[in-house]
Amino acid sequence: MPTATAAPPPRPFGTVLSAMVTPFRPDGSLDLAAAGALAEHLVATGHDGLVVSGTTGESPTTSDEEKDALLRTVLDAVGERVVVVAGVGTNDTRHTVDLARAAEKAGAHGLLVVTPYYNKPPQAALLAHFETVADATGLPVMLYDIPARAGVPIETETLLRAAEHDRVVAVKDAKSDLHATAQVLARTDLAYYSGEDALNLPLLALGGSGVVSVVSHVAGREHARMIAAVDAGDLVTARAVNTQLLPAVRGIMTRTQGAVAVKAALEATGVLAGRTVRQPLLAATAAEVDAIRADLVLAGLAPDA
């Protein structure tokens, strides 16, 4: 039987957010019509939030103008129904501020700000970066802690300091350190969103608010069901959903790079017409597509052709 639970955690950006891919035409140009249609599909399949121009959206290879056009397209399609968060993080504070202001002007509901990557700033510099970006607009900010890509973690004390800023309200957590996550959850009001599909359930069980997921592109309803089960104290159901999704997590997060894999999954399920990515990424091979499709079949997310 489900057990009694505390009130649900804060959810300033919703519960099930997709780290949305950016559709491209076969020639590599931005496909805004497909982006709008994909946003509609995601909202129809369990999402109450979308992150546009995150890393899974191939933000390193889209121009500022393309980011603006993509954001406006998604807002026009679904912005009155769900939370639309703009990925604006770069490793240049001035550029990040410019992107944040442009996103606010376009109508974004919030900002995702990743740890500056490659230049490996010390913790005091990280805090200054986040505060500068948060000061630049009136939008709520989700920090993105992903040391495997950024090169440095956002340390616990830095997160505690950042949480003192009125507009820093959430963290996308991809640090793979659940003890550190629990420490911040216990000492702040920050909303925590899982940024690692393999750790969605453990983070939710610690008091996480939701997910910013890659796998949710093909499993939005399942993620919504898992979160509802955790809220109800029904860990039996939550574990069952998590177990169901394990093959999909394997397929999308381990077969090849995540954006490459999830575009292949969306093509395999008929959501996207193609799986084009921009270099330095390369589209999934036929063998990779077959493996990903087989994983989706095992997870009950694609028909067994």
Residue 256 CB partners (closer than 8 Å, separation 6+): 264, 284, 288
Beta bridge partners of 114: 144
Cβ atoms of 180 and 208 within 8 Å: the answer is no
Give the strand pairing for 210-213 and 16-19. Answer: parallel
Is residue 108 exposed (0-12), middle (13-18) or buried (19+ Cβ within 10 Å)? buried
Hey, what amino acid is at 156? T
Is 260 marked as binding a ligand? no
List helix spans (H) across 107-155: 123-136, 147-150
Would you name the residues annotated as active-site residues? 144, 172
Q: Tell me if the bond preceding 280 is cis, omega within 30° of 0.
A: yes
Is 212 marked as binding a ligand? yes
Cα–Cα distance, 199 to 190 (Å, whole number): 18
Cα–Cα distance, 227 to 237 (Å, whole number): 10
Known binding positions: 56, 212
Known binding positions for pyruvate: 56, 212
